[in-house]
Structure 1
Amino acid sequence: MLGHQYRKYSSMVANEALLYAQSLTLSGDGKDVWVFDIDETSLSNLPYYAQWIPITPNYSITGRTEDQRDLTANNLRQAGYHTREKLILKGSSYSGKKATVYKSSERKKLEKSRHRIIGNMGGQWSDLLGTNVGNRTFKLPDPMYYIG
C-alpha cells in the first residue's frame, strides 16, 4: 500500500493542493473552508498535510457514523489534527444512501450557512462528486477500497 508509486502520486496531489492553497486570497471572515475526508485521506496521509492544514478552517466530512464521534475525534487528535473546526459524521437519516448523496447534502448545508468551500480533498470519487464540491477538488490514491 505504501509503495513508491503511491507515495509519489500522493505527494504530487498534495503539492498541487499546497500550491493552490498558497495562491488563495482569503476573505478573512472565517467562512473560507477546506473540506477533507478522514479515512485514507486525513488519517493515512498526515505527513503531506501537516504543513498546510492551518491555512484555512478544516471541515471533515466522513462516512463514519455519529456513534463513532468520540473515537473519530480522538483518532484525529492522535494523528496531529488540532485545528479542525468541524467534524461532520453520517447521521441515521442517510442510512442506505450513497456516499455521494450524503456528502453533497452536507456540503450544501455548509454553503447555505455562508461558508465557501475553497478546496475539497478525498481518496474516493464519492468525496468529490455530486453537488457543492467547492472551487477545486483533489483526488488522492486509495489502494484500500473503492466506494461507488
Structure 2
Amino acid sequence: MASGQSVVRTILFLLCLVSTAVSHSLIQLVSGDRKIRIDDDLYCDSWRLSVENNNAGYWSTVPSRCERFVQDYMNGERYSSDSEVVAEDSLAFVKTVEIAGDGRDVWVFDIDETLLSNLPYYEVHGFGSETYNETSWDSWVNLAEAPALPASLSLYKELEQLGFKIFLLTGRDEYQRNVTEKNLLSAGYTNWERLILRGTSDEGKPAIVYKSEKRAELQDEGYRIHGSSGDQWSDLLGFAVAKRSFKLPNPMYYIA
C-alpha cells in the first residue's frame, strides 16, 4: 500500500513539474509576442515620423511589420487629431494674412488625402502595403464616392468666407475631371476658382515638377499664393511655392 501511494505521489509530482514547465513556456511565449508587438509599434511610430518629415525619401510600400500599425493609425483617433492640428495651424497663419480684396489672394489644395479621403479604397488594398495599381485606383476614382476629410472641409469653408480664391491642383488626369468635380461637390466642396488636372503635356513629369509649373503659371497670372495644403512633399516643395505650406499626414504612400 505504501509503495502504491509513493507511486501516486511521484506521478502527481511529475505532472506538477510538466504543468509548471508548460505554463512557464506559455508565459514566455505570450510575453515574447507582446514584446514583438511593442517593438513593432515603437519602430513603426518612428518610421511614420521619418516619413512625415521626408527623411525616409522615396519608398514604395509600407514595411510589412507596420501594416497593422498604419491600419490602426488611419482608422483611429490619431489620424483625425493630426489632421485637425494641421488645419488649426493653417488657420493660425491665415489670421496673419491681409486680404487685398482684388481677388488675387490664393490658397492651393491638393485633393487626394488632402480634401478627399480614400480610406474606403485603401481598406480593401492593404493601407499602402500593396503596390499601386492604376486600374483598381481609376475604378475607385470613377465611383466618385470618396468622403471629405472633416478638418480640411472646415478649413476650406473658412478660407472661402475670408475671401481667398481656392485653386485645386491634383495629380489626377484631365479625363477624370467630371468624376472629380462630382465627388468634390458631393463631399461638400464648392466655389473653387479652378480645378487643375494633368493634361497631355504633363505626362511623365514628376509631381514636384508638374505642380511647381502650375503654381508658377498662377503667379504669372498675378495671383499671390499665401498657403498650400497637401499630403505629399511633392505637393508643397519645388519652386513658386506658397508663403506657408502645410503637410497633412499620410503614411500609406509616397509620390515623388
Length-normalised TM-score, structure 2? 0.56
After superposition, where does 1:91-102 map in structure 2 within 5 Å? 91-102=199-210
User: Aligned residue for 2:174?
Assistant: 66
Structure 1 range deviating more: 134-143 or 44-53: 44-53
Length-normalised TM-score, structure 1? 0.95
Counting matched residue pairs gives 148
- Distance in structure 1 (CA, Å) of the matches to 2:152 and 2:84: 10
User: Aligned residue for 1:132?
Assistant: 240
Task: Give the secondary-structure state (helix, strand or coil) at the position aligned to 2:195.
Answer: strand
User: Aligned residue for 1:53?
Assistant: 159
Runs of 4+ in 1 over 2 A off after TM superposition: none
Task: Give the secondary-structure state (helix, strand or coil) at the position aligned to 2:234.
Answer: helix
- Distance in structure 2 (CA, Å) of the matches to 1:2 and 1:106: 33
TM superposition shift of 1:4: 2.2
1:39 and 2:112 correspond: yes
TM superposition shift of 1:85: 1.0
User: What do you get for the CA RMSD once the two structures are aligned?
Assistant: 1.2
Q: Deviations over 1:2-30 (max 9, x none)?
A: 32221221111110001111221101000
User: Aligned residue for 1:117?
Assistant: 225
- Distance in structure 2 (CA, Å) of the matches to 1:17 and 1:2: 23
- Distance in structure 2 (CA, Å) of the matches to 1:27 and 1:63: 30
User: Between Structure 1 and Structure 2, whose CA radius of gyration is higher?
Assistant: 2
Task: Give the secondary-structure state (helix, strand or coil) at the position aligned to 1:134.
Answer: coil
- Distance in structure 2 (CA, Å) of the matches to 1:116 and 1:109: 11
More helix by share: 2
Question: Residues 87 and 151 of structure 2 are in contact (CA less than 8 Å); yes or no, is this contact kept in structure 1?
Answer: yes
Gaps of 5+ in 2: 1-73, 118-147
Task: Give the secondary-structure state (helix, strand or coil) at the position aligned to 1:138.
Answer: strand
- Distance in structure 2 (CA, Å) of the matches to 1:143 and 1:75: 23
1:80 and 2:188 correspond: yes
More strand by share: 1
1:107 and 2:215 correspond: yes
Task: Give the secondary-structure state (helix, strand or coil) at the position aligned to 2:227.
Answer: strand
Q: Counterpart of 2:219 in structure 1: which amino acid?
A: E
